[in-house]
Chains A and B, each alone.
Chain A
Amino acid sequence: MSTPTWAQLTNLGVAVLFILSLKALSSPKSARLGTVLGAFGATAATVLLFFTGIELDNLAVIIIMIAIGSVIGWVSARRVKMTAMPQLVALFNGVGGGAAGLVAVVEFLHADGEGSFLFWLFTIVTVIIGSVAFSGSIVTYLKLQEVMTTRPVVLPAGKWVTILVALATVAVAVWAIVNPAFWLILLLLALSLIFGVLFVLPVGGADVPIVISLLNACTGLAVAASGYVLNNVLLLIAGTLVGASGTLLTTLMAKAMGRPLTATLFGAFSGTTAGSTATSNSDRPVRSGAPNDIAIMLGFANKVILVPGYGLAVAQAQSTLRELAELLASRGVDVDYAIHPVAGRMPGHMNVLLAEANVPYEQLKEMDEINPEFASTDVVLVVGANDVVNPAARTDTSAPIYGMPILDVDAAGQVVFLKRSMRPGFAGIENELLFDPKTTLLFGDAKESLTKVVSSLKSL
């Protein structure tokens, strides 16, 4: 297949656009430009492909499939609630991995036993990584969508089964490279899909986003390998860029949670988690307050810090929280928002959700910046957050979140929790702070509770 020079130059141009796109996405000022550059590059590459003179049969099928896929992608991206956005990203990542795997399978069939050692090697690598990214992403989707439990799922002897499946995958892969038979590829597909599921099942709670990022990097590598198989430079560059940047992003996220990547994937969460769910605590007394009491506490404080969590977003109460913040500010109270790096379901998710509600960017303080201020704060209002303020992360070595940096809300004078119930957070562990004498709880939907507090505050 001889690609004309202008088409090769187009590929180079598109590759540069992808690099600039990622670069632009790394800075708040230019982030939107980043999507425009990337989308423009991808569209140009796709459209121009039809004019490069390569032989394309089945043109009708191709165009219909592009049309259907574009509509599905566009509509689901536009319709999704921002709270459910992480699982949609996981799903998009999964289908990308699936596409790469399928490309390799078709290329395998088409080669019909004729190929170099490297061709088979990269075809098989694409099949494996693509399938793992596909099935793994589906499991993360099911976890985040809460179709299945968000808690780590530990199968009996799961560790050994996983290792066994991994070894079998490698063995079959080697066999398939030496003897490229289709039934071996099918076996490899099945093993890789199973491995993807086993790999993600034991990861629980707050660690899921890190796994999404890792699987994203995997899909990138699968696409890069498929670029090698098809001798297509653009796929190779784009895939490698995503693979490398995705790997770095994964480690940055893991760092934000204060856990080495290995611990996230194979550590505490995959171990004995049963001991850390002290459900007996549920019977202990807690202090709950009326909206009016909380309005008084907040209204007469000098300094208030708001800690928004995923529960706030689920209740769609971001605007009400902003109203409360504005009301307090107008009474001369010093108000800040404390944003934990993994507040919400993904790093940066809460910033997106609050920006949606027009909360000024400058009021959002990151964890390292806000933590020293809690000691001089009168009241902390925690809305729909739990794990990110749970002191067990500092003290309880058996807790699955042990070692994760948290917001030091327990250093403040008083703590108010707006919670739906006593149900533990995403990580599934009790929060001792709820039973602390300086803590007041208001149960109910975050939006209703906040609305009541706001109206009480107005009548003070």
Chain B
Amino acid sequence: MDGVALLTIFVLSIFVGFEVVSKVSTVLHTPLMSGANAIHGIVLIGGIIVTGAAETPLEVILGALAVLLGAINLVGGFAVTDRMLEMFKPKKPAAASDREGEA
């Protein structure tokens, strides 16, 4: 793909990135940051591509390290985000136990 097409995608993505998070509530700042953090873990793909094309031992070693770090970022990022959001889920059981507590 030529440079101008990539530049077009880049600029449009900036606007989309701003737009999608513009209405986030303070409560979700941390999970959102963590979720965004997980998404850039997709750099794993870059690691796989360069390692797949690597020829010298140095390239293979550095590429393998990139794959390792990318996988940690991607999998860990989504796992920790999900764990944070898990905490928000049990609203109904919480309300129920509250009523028991007050009774």
- Known A92-B41, A241-B17, A249-B36; judge A346-B64 contact (CB<8 A): no
A242 touching B39, Cβ below 8 Å = yes
A147 interface contact, C-beta 8 A: no
B85 touching A35, Cβ below 8 Å = yes
Task: Give which listed residue, A223, A241, A252, contacts B46 with CB less than 8 A.
Answer: A223
CB distance from B13 to the nearest CB of A (A): 4
B51 touching A62, Cβ below 8 Å = yes
CB distance from A458 to the nearest CB of B (A): 13
A88 interface contact, C-beta 8 A: yes
* Distance between Cα atoms of A252 and B30 in the complex (Å): 12
Tell me which residues across on chain B come within 8 A of A216, comparing CB atoms.
33, 36-37, 40
With both beta carbons as reference points, the residue of chain B lying nearest to A253 in the complex is identified as B29
Residues of B in contact with A, size category: 35 or more
CB distance from A124 to the nearest CB of B (A): 16
Task: Give which listed residue, B64, B65, B78, B98, contacts A39 with CB less than 8 A.
Answer: B78
* Distance between Cα atoms of A35 and B60 in the complex (Å): 32
* Distance between Cα atoms of A39 and B41 in the complex (Å): 10
The A interface, classified by DSSP as helix, strand, loop or mixed, is helix
A72 touching B76, Cβ below 8 Å = yes
* Among listed A167-175, A231-239, A409-417, interface-contacting one: A231-239
- A4-37 contacts to B, CB under 8 A, are 18-19, 21-23, 25-28, 31-32, 34-35
1/0 per residue A52-72: CB within 8 Å of B? Answer: 001111110110011111101
A99 touching B50, Cβ below 8 Å = no
1/0 per residue A84-120: CB within 8 Å of B? Answer: 0110110011011011101101110110000000100
B42 touching A45, Cβ below 8 Å = yes
* Distance between Cα atoms of A305 and B61 in the complex (Å): 56
With both beta carbons as reference points, the residue of chain A lying nearest to B23 in the complex is identified as A26
Most buried by A among B53, B69, B98: B69
A246 interface contact, C-beta 8 A: yes
* Distance between Cα atoms of A153 and B62 in the complex (Å): 32
- Known A66-B71, A244-B18; judge A99-B43 contact (CB<8 A): yes
Q: List 19 A-B contacts (CB under 8 A).
A: A22-B17, A25-B21, A27-B23, A35-B35, A69-B69, A73-B74, A74-B76, A74-B79, A92-B77, A100-B43, A103-B46, A110-B53, A216-B36, A236-B9, A241-B17, A326-B101, A348-B26, A353-B87, A359-B94
Seed contacts A77-B75, A92-B76; 20 additional CB < 8 Å A-B pairs: A25-B31, A35-B38, A38-B38, A42-B78, A61-B64, A65-B71, A82-B84, A95-B72, A96-B40, A99-B67, A99-B73, A103-B47, A223-B43, A233-B1, A236-B9, A240-B10, A244-B15, A352-B88, A353-B87, A355-B88
Interface residues of A (CB under 8 A from B): 18-19, 21-23, 25-28, 31-32, 34-35, 38-39, 42, 45-46, 49, 54-59, 61-62, 65-70, 72-74, 76-78, 80, 82, 85-86, 88-89, 92-93, 95-96, 98-100, 102-103, 105-107, 109-110, 118, 212-213, 216, 219-220, 222-224, 226-228, 230-249, 252-253, 256, 323, 326, 329-330, 341, 346-349, 351-353, 355-356, 358-361, 364, 366
